[in-house]
Amino acid sequence: MKSNDSFVDFLELNIESLDLDTGYVTFDMREPLMGNPIFRTLQGGVIATVLDIVGGHVAFLNVFKRVKGAPFEKQIKRVSKVATIDLRVDYLQPGKGERFTAKGWVLRAGNKVAVIRMELHNEMQVLIAVGTGTYSVG
């Protein structure tokens, strides 16, 4: 799926699946994403950014699910308020691999705040990092 987000496009993320409660994206290792080109590992900021993008998309779509059927103005007002409040990332393994998948799902969604859990795996299903994002949703 093509994104309308130029930063997502810069990272060359492929939005593989997004539904109203979960989502995942994939991307390939590229030199601009490396923190250590000698060991060919992802830069930590790239990992955090990708997890935040997945978490934000899941939070956004979960808000959309809640306001579906409401007047258009209310839908726009609610979804435009989605923003990251807090992001915690635990780096579990060096970001080695050729292809990566980031997944996110809703842990809890309320009227004001949503909590999303994210994971980043490489093509060998090695868990590289986990994240928990708290997003303003209302």
pLDDT tens-digit series, residues 98-129: 999 999 999 999 999 999 999 999 999 999 99
CATH number of domain containing 69: 3.10.129.10
Q: Is residue 74 part of a domain?
A: yes
pLDDT of amino acid 87: 99
What rounded mean pLDDT belongs to the chain?
A: 92
- Nearest Cα to Cα of residue 114 among 127, 101, 104, 102: 104
Q: Is the pLDDT score of 1 beyond 60?
A: no
Q: Is residue 58 part of a domain?
A: yes
Q: Is residue 56 part of a domain?
A: yes
Q: Is residue 38 part of a domain?
A: yes
CB atoms within 10 A of CB 65: 13
pLDDT of amino acid 97: 98
Domain boundaries, position 26: 6-136
Residue 21's pLDDT band (cuts 50, 70, 90): confident
Mean pLDDT across 82-102: 98
DSSP label at 96?
Answer: B
Q: Name the domain count of the chain.
A: 1
Q: What percent of the chain has pLDDT over 70?
A: 96
Q: Is residue 1 part of a domain?
A: no
Please give the distance of CA 74 from its chain centroid, rounded to a whole number: 25
Q: Is the pLDDT score of 2 beyond 60?
A: no
Q: Is residue 25 part of a domain?
A: yes
Mean pLDDT across 46-54: 97
Q: What percent of the chain has pLDDT over 90?
A: 68
According to DSSP, the residues that pair with 66 across neighbouring strands are none
Q: Is residue 130 part of a domain?
A: yes
Q: Is the pLDDT score of 3 beyond 70?
A: no
Please give the distance of CA 22 from its chain centroid, rounded to a whole number: 10
